[in-house]
Amino acid sequence: MKPKFSNAPLMIALAFSTPAFASNTLVTSGTGVAVAKSPLTVVPDREWNKMGARPGRRSETWTIDGDGLNDLTFYGGIESNSTLFREVSKRLKPLPRYSSTMLLTDIPALFENSYSIALDTQLMKIDQVEPTTFLGQKGVRFMYSFSLKGEDVRRKGEASGAIISGKLYLISFEAPELFYFDRDVAGYRNIVAAAKLGLPQS
């Protein structure tokens, strides 16, 4: 069986990452850490593994058990006219671009379309969209689910995002619906609730 990756951004990063074989590192529990080379700062309440391969310039992915089993992805300030993550093929499968004029309701659609294109699946769906407070601002929280072509695993995801000074900040979590999602989603929600824009504080 061919290896499959549930995480669209990471899947792309693994193919095109620079440096190609950046190593994974341990993120310790209880310490504030700046993520995605941005002012976005989180305090994990358990240990995570930071994947060396990053989905894009403004993002990074953490996992507990391995890519595809639980993926926590931070998007730290996507700028206007940029894609959410690196494109699989600029020529054949260009990704939609974020725009600072977007409404919060446009963010789930941007996310859905980017995933559909990058994963080449029509089985990516936004299930629910609701308002939330994220990084102290009006934000959007949405649940999604998807399956990859030729794979039976059903994956669930949740994301919270906000547009701050024209830039998009987003944290998403996705895992197989069976077992992993329910087990790990609480840890993700804690991270989202405590996320801040600013320097890390220990």
Partner 1 sequence: MRAASASFAAACLVGAAATCAHAEPIPTLPPYTAAYQPQGVDERGLWMEFDEFERTLRDSKAVINDPALMAYLRGVVCRTVGSSRCETVRIYVVRDASFNASMAPNGMMVIHSGLLLRSRNEAELAAVLGHEFAHFELRHSLAQFKRRRTAGDIVAWVGVAAVGAYAYGGANTYSVIRNAQSVQTAVIGGLYANGREQERQADLLSMAYLKASPYEPHCFADLWNRQMNEADATARGRKQRSTRYDRVAFFATHPTSLDRATYLRAIASETGKAGDEGQVSFMTAMTAWRPEFLDDQLKLNDFEGTDFLLGELAGAQWTPDLLYARGELYRGRGNPRDLVSAIGFYREALSGNATFAEAYRGIGLAQMRNHDPAGVDALKRYLSLKPDASDRAMISMLVQ
Q: Where do contacts with partner 1 occur on this chain (CB under 8 A)?
A: 91, 94-96, 99, 101-106, 109, 112-113, 116-117, 121-123, 127-131, 138, 140, 147, 149-150, 152, 154
Residue closer to partner 1 (CB basis): 25 or 105: 105
Return the C-alpha torsion angle 183, 185, 189, 195, nearest 10: 100
CB contact at 8 A, 121 and 108: no
Rank residues 30 and 94 by Cβ distance to partner 1 and give the closer one.
94
Pairing of strands 167-176, 71-78: antiparallel
Q: Which is nearer to partner 1, 66 or 131 (CB)?
A: 131
Taking the least distance from each CB to partner 1, the nearer of 39 and 96 is: 96
Extended beta strands in the chain, E state: 25-27, 33-34, 40-42, 48-50, 59-63, 71-78, 82-83, 97-98, 125-134, 137-146, 155-164, 167-176, 196-197
Task: Work out how close the CB of 31 gets to partner 1 at its nearest, in angstroms, rounded to a whole number.
Answer: 34
The smaller minimum CB distance to partner 1, of residues 38 and 116, is found at 116
Reference 172, options 136, 199, 140, 197; nearest CA is: 140
- What's the closest the beta carbon of residue 35 comes to partner 1, in angstroms? 26
What φ, ψ does residue 26 adopt, rounded to 5°?
Answer: -85, 135
Distances (CA, A) of 145 to 16, 72, 89: 25, 15, 24
- Name the minimum Å distance from CB 3 to partner 1: 16
**Could you tell me the CA-to-CA distances from 124 to 74, 109, 118, 141, 172 in Å, in that order?**
20, 11, 11, 16, 15
Rounded to a whole number of angstroms, the minimum distance from the CB of residue 131 to partner 1 is 4
CB of 140 to partner 1, least distance (A): 6
Least distance CB 181 / partner 1 (angstroms): 16
Nearer to partner 1, 42 or 168 (CB): 168
